[in-house]
Structure 1
């Protein structure tokens, strides 16, 4: 049995403000008292219907250093639970993330959906805004019978129990949501490695390591020309995606590298973040860095 762990990485720029919103979502949605999962197909495209997700963003780490991170947990209509698994406690770490898949039953998927709504993942829930600076924002998405509900809560775990900026109902709402996030990250079962159909390559100019750091040998880049298209010109993070045989070639090279490997292409050196795209993601539009992000 393997226990899924919480990660605090984000795939997008930080959410600066607390929000709770819901919007119509026709794909796979049910009507009346039916669960949206009950009517979602488990074959073909419908299997990639995202039902529940929790992720974290922002905090003290600037977004340009966390872009490309995986959501902590993503649950799909066919029962796949995809998370970022444990990695060896070594430095430098592996170049590739350890993305894992755990399978749960349709009934469990429906339960997680309802439990999320019951935990306050719905329009109008007031979580308050605590007196905490530079804390991450936890974002939870649930697709329920009424559509897609998303809440984004600042400092979900960092706020003090007696924070004067929070009312008792707000503290109770936060406690319920935190317990739900714990439930998501505590799902157990047999895990297998996730096999992506598309791999994103996020490249930035390589910064030479300090004298005290172990040196990683340079590796010639085997894929399309780096850095790809910039996500944001100011941050100089380029993005490109690979599929099929080209992805297999890139993955083979990445397995022999580490997180600090300098990749050479066109007479320049790059640091690369490899990000397997999840079933509901496609292309570099998955990532965003706004011009105002810091």
Structure 2
């Protein structure tokens, strides 16, 4: 009896020590001394619309709904003043989140299904945009696209499809409605100009000509009837200053006397210029 009890006690001691070691390993894994893998410094999470029935100019200049970067910057579309002609420059706001909030947004994207590949349905809706979710971590980049996310009637989907779309829709709403402190105006280092010949505008609202201070026009073909140039450095600053008091019907005049209509698109931190536009 004594020998059997001794062996049994020894076995229990070994098991207890093993469990204690596992618990300690788990605690170490979650401790500050073993931090999670770092997120990439560039674009981490983005929600954007692509396609849909609209003009080539609007497709080229359309901004993502929200872009989140590894340094904590969150860029969103700002409110647009409801006047006509509307301002030439679109409003882009930037907020700052800390690392904990940034990782929480990444976790929310995973929970919402951005990394999943289940069936999202084929809604009978024409000419709607596709919502593109992009998530980049140390493990790579995942892109998930949902056609007609906002326009799809519930009776066009199965319960599983509706649930999956609902999670992605909630994520979009959460990201676009994020309030993380004071928002500032985003000042791009590069601004793209989408160009087409000026066709006279509204005769009841004539606009004064403005001298074009940027790169030579018309630039590189970008789509049906439109071209594009990118201004950087001092030229970008000059273009932004001139466009600040312009509107979407302003005629921009080059030294040869040509008059152009220009739609402006701030270039985001992970973009380079005209080549990144469209979608």
TM-score by length of 2: 0.82
Among 191, 194, 210, the residue aligned to 1:202: 194
Q: Are 1:263 and 2:231 an aligned pair?
A: no
- In the other structure, the counterpart of 2:3 is none
Partners of 2:174 and 2:86 lie apart in 1 by 28
- In the other structure, the counterpart of 1:154 is 147
Q: Are 1:223 and 2:222 an aligned pair?
A: no
Partners of 1:215 and 1:168 lie apart in 2 by 54
* Structure 2 unaligned residues grouped into runs of 5+: 1-28
Q: Report which of the two structures shows the higher radius of gyration computed on alpha carbons.
A: 2
Structure 1 residues 172-181 or 124-133, which shifts more? Answer: 124-133
Give the Å deviation of 1:38.
4.9
Partners of 2:252 and 2:237 lie apart in 1 by 17
- In the other structure, the counterpart of 2:113 is 120
Among 170, 178, 183, the residue aligned to 2:169: 178
Structure 1 residues 272-281 or 64-73, which shifts more? Answer: 64-73
The alignment partner of 1:280 has SS state of: coil
Give the Å deviation of 1:125.
2.6
Q: Are 1:242 and 2:231 an aligned pair?
A: yes
Q: Are 1:283 and 2:276 an aligned pair?
A: no
- In the other structure, the counterpart of 1:60 is 53
- In the other structure, the counterpart of 2:89 is 96
> Do the aligned partners of residues 94 and 37 (structure 1) sit closer, same or farther apart at CA in structure 2, a change above 3 Å counting?
farther
Aligned ranges for residues 108-147 of structure 1 at < 5 Å? Answer: 108-147=101-140
The alignment partner of 1:96 has SS state of: coil
Deviation readout 1:206-234 (Å, 9 max, x if unpaired): 222244x41211112122211111113xx
> Do the aligned partners of residues 69 and 288 (structure 1) sit closer, same or farther apart at CA in structure 2, a change above 3 Å counting?
closer
Q: Which runs of 4+ in 1 moved over 4 A?
A: none
Partners of 1:90 and 1:210 lie apart in 2 by 14
Q: Are 1:251 and 2:250 an aligned pair?
A: no
The alignment partner of 1:66 has SS state of: helix
Partners of 2:251 and 2:144 lie apart in 1 by 38
- In the other structure, the counterpart of 1:193 is 185
Deviation readout 1:136-189 (Å, 9 max, x if unpaired): 1111111245321111111111111111xx222111100111011111011002
Higher helix fraction (1 or 2): 2
Partners of 1:54 and 1:152 lie apart in 2 by 10
Among 95, 98, 104, the residue aligned to 1:105: 98
The alignment partner of 2:124 has SS state of: coil
- RMSD in angstroms over aligned alpha carbons? 2.2
Matched-pair contact (CA < 8 Å) for 2:59–2:278: no
Partners of 2:119 and 2:102 lie apart in 1 by 26
Matched-pair contact (CA < 8 Å) for 1:117–1:144: no
Partners of 2:235 and 2:83 lie apart in 1 by 29
Aligned residues: 246
- In the other structure, the counterpart of 1:10 is none
TM-score by length of 1: 0.78
